[in-house]
Amino acid sequence: TRKKPLVVVTRKLPDVIETRMMELFDTRLNADDQPRSAEELLAAVQTADVLVPTVTDRIDEALIKAAGENLKLIASFGAGVDHIDLKAAKAKGITVTNTPGVLAEDTADMTMALILAVCRRINEGEQTLREGEWQGWAPTWMLGRRLYGKRIGIIGMGRIGTALARRARAFGLSVHYHNRNRVGPELEAELEATYWESLDQMLARMDIVSINCPHTPATFHILSARRLKLLQKHAVIVNTARGELIDEKTLADLLIAGDIGGAGLDVYEREPQLAPKLLRAKNTVLLPHMASATLEGRIDMGERVIINIKTFADGHKPPDRVLGELL
């Protein structure tokens, strides 16, 4: 029988996943769930056959170069792989996998929740009540903006973008999107989606803009200061993808100046820090990177990680290989 691979996991995962991993592999867990220090990560890549990092671990070029001979697979627990230097991994012959698909529905739910929270002022209303400041009902008090009949522009029509588009349709929004490539005619027909080749032109016409693409060198600050200024004054922007996709400081300035309608954010450029000004923006709902955080989702993600490691250890190509197109 083949020797069990030595698998180092950087963060606490759901119990069922940890138990299964202990059965299948020679697994080293992280019991205290503190992020691994740089020294611990270095020790991990020097001894492990397989590393299971998460979004909080920086797997940069230096770390990959320092990896031992044994490290052949980085089976990341998460969809985004921008914390891993894919080029360096490729150069060293290390396979990288992620956990796509299984978090699309949960992330789309939370995106919709943010849209509703911002447009209908849910958090503001509840806060007023909890703080004892509710004076009673009045016809023109706490008015939000209607979703029905408005336009949503989705940047990135992948699995999450598509799941969001389906929900948006159910709320009576019309779907617009910008993507590297146009999606197939069947999906476009199902969503009655309008494709915008020009992101600039789309931005200038939307009521709501949701960003759902991966963060790569090509998409860093895709919503730059210049592009943010193309948005209509009432437009609402939602980000459940990656903070680096938006120029966060400019976004905060525009929100505070009232030059855009509002924002619902789950991710930030330098987590767990955020541009301090964002905290002062009233028309904004801020969540701490939790759009995919459901128990079911985390178990599904863990199962993808296990399938990827098992397939690889059995000498086959793992299903969720991250290929060069993200570079």
Which positions from 40 to 59 touch ligand 8YV by CB under 6 A, shown as an x/- string?
Answer: --------------xx----
Query: Which CB, 243 or 261, lies closer to ligand 8YV?
Result: 243
Which amino acid is it at 21? M
Q: Is 80 in the site for ligand 8YV (CB under 6 A)?
A: yes
Burial of 220 (0-12, 13-18, 19+ CB in 10 A): middle
Q: How is the chain split among helix, strand and coil, in percent rounded to 5?
A: 40, 15, 45
CA–CA separation, 153 vs 213, rounded Å? 12
Q: Is 25 in the site for ligand 8YV (CB under 6 A)?
A: no
182 catalytically annotated: no
242 catalytically annotated: yes
Q: Which residue is nearest to ligand 8YV (CB)?
A: 78
Sheet holding 236-239, edge to edge: 194-195, 174-178, 151-155, 208-211, 236-239, 262-265, 284-286
Q: Do the Cβ atoms of 163 and 110 come closer than 8 Å?
A: no
Q: Is 78 in the site for ligand 8YV (CB under 6 A)?
A: yes
Q: Is 79 in the site for ligand 8YV (CB under 6 A)?
A: yes
Least distance between ligand 8YV and beta carbon 264 (Å)? 16
Least distance between ligand 8YV and beta carbon 174 (Å)? 28
Q: Do the Cβ atoms of 155 and 213 come closer than 8 Å?
A: yes
Cis previous bond, 288, omega within 30: no
Query: Which CB, 12 or 249, lies closer to ligand 8YV?
Result: 12
Q: Which position has the token pair 């016409």?
A: 205
Q: Do the Cβ atoms of 277 and 249 come closer than 8 Å?
A: yes
Least distance between ligand 8YV and beta carbon 230 (Å)? 27
CA–CA separation, 327 vs 127, rounded Å? 43
Q: Is 7 in the site for ligand 8YV (CB under 6 A)?
A: no
Find the farthest-apart pair of alpha carbons in the chain and give their distance in angstroms, rounded.
74
The stretch near ligand 8YV (CB under 6 A) out of 58-66, 73-81, 191-199, 220-228 is: 73-81
Which positions from 258 to 297 touch ligand 8YV by CB under 6 A, shown as an x/- string?
Answer: -------------------------------x--x-----
271 catalytically annotated: yes
Query: Which CB, 198 or 273, lies closer to ligand 8YV?
Result: 273
The stretch near ligand 8YV (CB under 6 A) out of 72-80, 195-203, 205-213, 215-223 is: 72-80
Q: Is 103 in the site for ligand 8YV (CB under 6 A)?
A: yes
Nearest to 68 by CA among 52, 85, 87, 45: 45
Active-site residue among 126, 192, 271, 296?
271
Displacement of CA 268 from its chain's centroid (Å): 10
Residues that bind ligand 8YV (CB under 6 A): 54-55, 77-80, 103, 289, 292
- List residues with catalytic annotation: 242, 271, 289
